Every structure is written in structure tokens, then in C-alpha cells.
Amino acid sequence: MLLKFLTEDPSGLPIGSRLFRIAGVAGRATGHVAGRIGRHSWIAERVRFVRAWRANPKGIGAIWPSSARLAAAMTRDIGPTSGPCLELGAGTGAFTRALVARGLSSAQLTLIEMDPQFAKQLRHDFPEAYVYQGDAGKLAGLPLFADGLAGAAVCGLPLLNMPVKQQIGILRSTFAHLKPGGSMVLFTYGPRCPVRQRVLDRLGLRARRVETVLANMPPAHVWKLTRRSAAGSLHAPV
């Protein structure tokens, strides 16, 4: 019903206004009603998402949790043999669940999440994963993986909304934890890569669009970032 309300609401309100209406209802839900919502994980996940979106629309970026098809596209080339995986902006865990479905154990995952409520829920849902609540741009030097480096990274952060300096910090932090040949997968709702070309050039990275997922709200484009050389060039000045 929530999805129908967002996509078919006859009120004529823009989708942002509809989200605020849902968030208001969610915030007032108490007692028996809140308990019933909590027992329905799909609804509970979306209530948490809408609350977080209402508190910080720019930081969340998306207007609705990522679909199962987008999650499948984001994780298509990642599996148990890829080694540990780093997930940035794990949010409600849509991509995390897809990684587990691909055969990775929760113990192979390091989840980065700034929002305290999302981080708390991720620790509950994936108790064997390492959940780091903090800035994805300040990960360099942190011991995120017991066995060294990750083989892949999945990014759910709204990079397009971020200034160049912040993008560079996140990319440097990510690739500092990736093995040579490791890749970073991200998505955007626009037709172009959300990482500016001058940022890619500075950091010695290349971007390739690998899939378009029309069955997502809104439709999304999946991009893969890799180093241009084995060593890369991730220490250029901002």
C-alpha cells in the first residue's frame, strides 16, 4: 500500500510531500500499531528509511530503498571468491542482503553507515558483520578487515550530491582498502557517472557503466570504478 500510495496517489501531491506525510504517520505510530509495523520487516524497513530521509534528504539521496533488482545488479560480479567486501552507506541493508544471497558470509562484510539508527539495525540484522558508524571519507588507516584488504566495494552513498573534496576523500578511503584489481560499484539516477571526470583523472580511476535497472524507483544506472593501473594514483592533491 505504501508503494501504491507513492506511485498512484490521486492527491496530486509531489512525491516529496507524500514522503513527508508517510514520515509523519510513521512518527505518530505508537503502542499496538507500532508493534504490528515492527513485525512486518518490509514495512518497518521503509518506515526507517522514510524517517531518515525526512531528517536528512540530501544525505540519504534516494527517495525510496533500493529495489531487489538494483541490489542484484550492484552485486552481480561479487561472490565468496571475491574476498571480503566493503559496503559504503549500507542503510537498510538492501545491498547487504544481496551480498549474502551471492554466497558471502556476514563475517566477510564491513558495513559503513553514518546514521546511528541504520547502524544499530545493521548490527542486529548482520551480527557477524563489522559495522562501522562513521564518515566513509575517513577510513584510510582503519583496520576494517582482519585479513588485509577487500576484493570489492559497494557504494550506496549519494556521491552526486557531494562536493569534489568529499568525493575524493571517499574514493581515496575506499581504494586504500581494496586489493590491486579490486573494484567499486555504485549507482546513480542520472545518465552520467556521479563521480566527476576531473576526480577520476586526478585519482587515476576509470568508470564504466555496466547496467541500467529500469525496474527501480527511479530507474538507476550501475557504474564500476577501477584503477587505471595496478598501483593507481590515489594521492593527487585536492
Q: Are 87 and 153 in contact (CB under 8 A)?
A: yes
pTM reported for the whole predicted model? 0.73
**Mean of pLDDT values over 90-119:** 95
Report all structural domains of the chain as residue ranges with CATH numbers, in order of start. Answer: 2-55 (no CATH), 68-227 (3.40.50.150)
The arithmetic mean of pLDDT across residues 120-131, rounded, is 96
Q: Which residue has the higher pLDDT, 53 or 55?
A: 55
**CB of 194 closer than 8 Å to CB of 186:** yes
Q: For residues 35 and 129, what is the distance between their CA atoms, to the nearest angstrom? A: 27
CA separation for the pair 182, 232 (Å, rounded): 11
What does the alpha-carbon distance between residue 2 and residue 168 come to, in Å, rounded to a whole number? 37
Set of cell numbers at residue 157: 552513498
Per DSSP bridges, beta strands 150-155 and 178-188 are parallel
pLDDT above 90 (res 60) = no
Question: Is 195:171 a contact under the CB 8 Å cutoff?
Answer: yes
Per the model's pLDDT, the better-predicted residue between 92 and 230 turns out to be 92
Judged against a pLDDT cut of 70, whether residue 79 lies above it is answered with yes
Over the chain, what is the mean pLDDT?
80
Grid cell for residue 71: 541490489
Taking residues 170-187, what's their average pLDDT?
Answer: 96
Residue 96 has pLDDT above 90, yes or no: yes
CB 193 within 8 A of CB 209: yes
Strands (E), 146-204: 150-155, 178-188
pLDDT digits (tens, 9 = 90+) for 42-54: 555 555 555 544 5
